[in-house]
Structure 1
Amino acid sequence: MLLVPPFRSFYLGRLVSLAGSAMTPVALAFAVLDASGRPGDLGVVLACQLVPHLALLLVGGAVADRWPRRLVLVAANLGAGLTQGAIALVLIGGAYRLWLVAGLALANGAIEAFTSPALRGIVPELVARDNLQRVNSLLSATGSAVKIVGPTVAGLVVVAVGGGWAIAVDAVSFVAAAAFLARLPRISPAPAARAGLLRDIRDGGRVFFAIPWVWPVALAYAVINLVNVGPWQILGPALTRARSGEATWGVVLSVRAVGLLLMSVLMYRLSVRHPLRFGRLAGALGACSLIALGLGFDPVWLAASAFLGGVGFAASGITWESAVQRHVDATHLGRVSSIDDLLSFSAIPLGQLLVGPAAAAFGGARVALACGITFAVAALAPLGVRAVRSLPGAPRPIAEPEAAPAS
């Protein structure tokens, strides 16, 4: 049973945090639009969340390897709760000013840069390495489930009392998560992480590119995000509405989420001998959604393709998370994770900016099809590297040392 201390406290913290955060996109969008009446304001606020997140990710990775990850996560969740609470108060109190909300969004994005590397790094400290795939499957299933329910709940809260109150719920969830995470054992960082932040970052980059199976898969994810997120988010609703109406797009997204959830549950039980080989092959299924969109499939087949896409994303993500946590040395895990995140997240806004002009020049369907094919090629390309194909699912005999004992 995985839900025993100390992982139980971590899981409960992630559950309440994810539940609150799942409400925020809907709540923030309607709250800013209602307060300002200008869609451009929402774009500024969202950009202010993303830019510091990307700018500080490498620093966040170094911090996650330098200081106890439990301490980093508690401080980050309290900071996120404070900034989200301040945004909620501004919106609820009718004191909306773009500069004020944007400034708070900047702080919130900066805090997130310190959260994600510590989250990925702390899991191997809490569970046995043989259980990492099961743990990541459980976390993935939980995330998928709250993403299905959260936006609907947020919509109801927005209609009933306004978007500011839904953001306030997210603020409370961060504080509750910090309370759960504070109960985790105090794991001391390795002395090797005590050089200097810039030197730590350079050392993390050296390790990232020295591991022969890490950088090919990370670069593949960057290409996938470049050709998938923007086209799917922008061309998906546009092409679907033109062919069969707005309701179809909602159904497609729901079916895709079901695919993510079901595969996450299946991966809890599935034993994979070569996780990256399996993950790359299954990950190519993620291209089905864009290919079906580009080929103009009818709603039933588009939904079926989206389901396969969700299956592929879940299998790929879970095997990748587990492989990194199992085989990357604990003293570099935060920095390696932050470089991986930086490559992936940086590609998303670039793809979002390029998809509009590309669709205007070549047609939305052709762009979606080309992106789907590129997605499939990028997902499979790392299999050309022997280290990717042969990485075992169980720890190597020379695996990195176990985490330091609690102090």
Structure 2
Amino acid sequence: MWSALRSRDFRLLWLSQSASVIGDGLVLVAIGLYVTRLTGNPSDVGIVLTAYAVPVVVFVLFGGVVADRLPRQTVMIAADTARAVLHGTLAIVIFTGIVRIWHMVVIGLLFGLAESFFRPAYTGLVPQTVPEADIQGAQALGGVSAELASFASPALATALVLGVGGAAAFGLDAATFVVSALLLSRVRTRSRGEPGVRSTVLAELHEGWGAVRVRPWVWGTILAFSVALLFALAPFFVLGASVAREVYGTDAVFGLANAAWGVGTITGAVVGSRWRPRRPMLAGMVVAIPWPGSIALFAAGPPLPVVYAGMAVAGAGIGLFAVWWETALATRIPAHLLSRVSAWDWMGSLALLPLGYLLAGPAADAFGAVEVMVVGGLIGLLSCALGLLPRSTRTLRRLEPTPVATDLLIAHPVP
């Protein structure tokens, strides 16, 4: 894993994202806590989260095309700059006491638009900053920083929102984007694989979809996670703080449960950097299956040590899955298509998430917040289990590129 840090450009990229993902992880929890305190209405939490998510779903495919056409670090710098301005503005609005839900919705829509270009650009940039042999290590290091953030950010968000105020949380996020943009401006990438043939936007979108369609292990995994995010993760973010207050007596449990999840994902990412299973997608899906169940467990109200342990175990599974999934994409998708395939991954995985945000509040009013989270978590668990149905998911084997074969694997990966 650490050998990837020998690359100057990857070090800069990794440091930039280590700063940025702290803010990213902080924001989701901060929105849940701050809006719950501002209005006391879980539906308002869902509306704000939907505003952040919808533009990613709508525009991420175009972001993938742009990232495959333009220098990827340039796309990322522009996105970081926009997000810094937006959350800096939100911090000021909150600090002055004039914030309204519609302010957060407008800022969330613009923030999501910038993010829809950033995400596919980042996925495509990582393999351009390290030798082929270090791709899994680079993915693991990116996972470690993201998971460290998922551990630290919820606790930090809880401390800032409940102890200092919402303005501090969003202001810190804005600062992380400034740091990220400055570091990205120094990144220089290597050429990788055959350049794509420039065509119309629609033709390039179709080319990216074609790369997904012929690989059942890709679209099957995306579909499984899309359903799980709708029924399990969306209610957790919308209702989690309210359920924690109802079941455990304090909404701080919501933040601490997220922190326990982060401990697990850090562990999973570190282990995933060294563990190279012969069938990475089979292993990844098996260890990822429990994560929606941890959300059902959280809502069911067992003793807190059980809640935190369940979250940590589920997080470890997702940490492992993320390393193996990103490595499989980077090594098996042609380099000039990687951002577009990544965009389909993001769009497909998140397509139903805004719907989940919107429906979680009304569903809780009709059936009860605890019931919605328990049933949703169990449905998500079943969906992840069904993700093992495609034969190629179960049989896809690890690639071991040699120096001689590396260029061929980049240009013409095995499906």
In the superposition, the TM-score normalised over structure 2's length comes to: 0.83
* Aligned residue among 260, 276, 290 for 1:285: 290
Q: Structure 1 residue 42: deviation in Å?
A: 6.2
SS at match of 2:411: coil
Q: Structure 1 residue 186: deviation in Å?
A: 4.4
Give deviations 1:278-297, integer Å, cap 9, x for gaps.
Answer: 00111112243145357664
Aligned 8 A contact 2:144 2:270 in 1: yes
The correspondence of residues 128-139 of structure 1 with structure 2, limited to 5 A, is 128-139=131-142
Q: Does 1:106 align with 2:116?
A: no
Q: Structure 1 residue 146: deviation in Å?
A: 2.3
The correspondence of residues 176-195 of structure 1 with structure 2, limited to 5 A, is 176-187=179-190, 191-195=195-199
Q: Does 1:346 align with 2:346?
A: no
Q: Does 1:262 align with 2:267?
A: yes
Letter in 2 for 1:215: W
C-alpha distance 254-104 of structure 1, shift in aligned 2 (>3 A)? closer
Q: Structure 1 residue 364: deviation in Å?
A: 5.9
Aligned 8 A contact 1:264 1:315 in 2: yes
Q: Does 1:384 align with 2:384?
A: no
C-alpha distance 21-288 of structure 1, shift in aligned 2 (>3 A)? closer
The correspondence of residues 278-357 of structure 1 with structure 2, limited to 5 A, is 278-290=283-295, 292-293=297-298, 297-355=302-360
Q: Does 1:56 align with 2:59?
A: yes
Aligned 8 A contact 2:67 2:120 in 1: yes
The correspondence of residues 149-168 of structure 1 with structure 2, limited to 5 A, is 149-157=152-160, 162-168=165-171
* Aligned residue among 20, 23, 43 for 2:23: 20
* Aligned residue among 85, 88, 95 for 2:88: 85
Give deviations 1:25-84, integer Å, cap 9, x for gaps.
Answer: 4656777789x8686776654433222222111110111111111211122112222222
Q: Structure 1 residue 262: deviation in Å?
A: 1.6
C-alpha distance 391-111 of structure 1, shift in aligned 2 (>3 A)? same
State the alpha-carbon separation in 2 of the partners of residues 373 and 159 from structure 1. Answer: 31
How many residues are matched? 401
User: What is residue 374 of structure 1 aligned with on the other side?
Assistant: 379
State the alpha-carbon separation in 2 of the partners of residues 103 and 170 from structure 1. Answer: 17
State the alpha-carbon separation in 2 of the partners of residues 282 and 93 from structure 1. Answer: 46
Q: Does 1:70 align with 2:73?
A: yes
C-alpha distance 241-46 of structure 1, shift in aligned 2 (>3 A)? closer
State the alpha-carbon separation in 1 of the partners of residues 308 and 33 from structure 2. Answer: 28
Aligned 8 A contact 2:154 2:256 in 1: no
C-alpha distance 294-111 of structure 1, shift in aligned 2 (>3 A)? closer
Q: Structure 1 residue 234: deviation in Å?
A: 5.2
Aligned 8 A contact 2:92 2:167 in 1: yes
SS at match of 1:272: coil
C-alpha distance 242-186 of structure 1, shift in aligned 2 (>3 A)? closer
User: What is residue 123 of structure 1 aligned with on the other side?
Assistant: 126
* Aligned residue among 3, 6, 26 for 2:5: 3
State the alpha-carbon separation in 1 of the partners of residues 210 and 40 from structure 2. Answer: 45
Give deviations 1:180-226, integer Å, cap 9, x for gaps.
Answer: 11111145696425212122112211221122321111111112212
Aligned 8 A contact 1:70 1:187 in 2: no
**Alignment gaps of 5+ in structure 2:** none
* Aligned residue among 178, 202, 205 for 1:201: 205
C-alpha distance 58-144 of structure 1, shift in aligned 2 (>3 A)? same
Q: Structure 1 residue 231: deviation in Å?
A: 3.8
**CA-atom RMSD, angstroms?**
3.3
Q: Does 1:276 align with 2:281?
A: yes
Most deviating of 131-140 and 162-171: 162-171
C-alpha distance 30-364 of structure 1, shift in aligned 2 (>3 A)? closer
Most deviating of 325-334 and 140-149: 140-149
* Aligned residue among 212, 218, 221 for 2:222: 218
Letter in 2 for 1:216: G
Letter in 2 for 1:264: A
State the alpha-carbon separation in 1 of the partners of residues 294 and 136 from structure 2. Answer: 26
State the alpha-carbon separation in 2 of the partners of residues 156 and 372 from structure 1. Answer: 27
User: What is residue 405 of structure 1 aligned with on the other side?
Assistant: none
Aligned 8 A contact 1:78 1:178 in 2: yes
In the superposition, the TM-score normalised over structure 1's length comes to: 0.85
User: What is residue 410 of structure 2 aligned with on the other side?
Assistant: 400
Q: Structure 1 residue 129: deviation in Å?
A: 3.2
Most deviating of 358-367 and 11-20: 358-367
State the alpha-carbon separation in 2 of the partners of residues 274 and 267 from structure 1. Answer: 13
Letter in 2 for 1:140: G
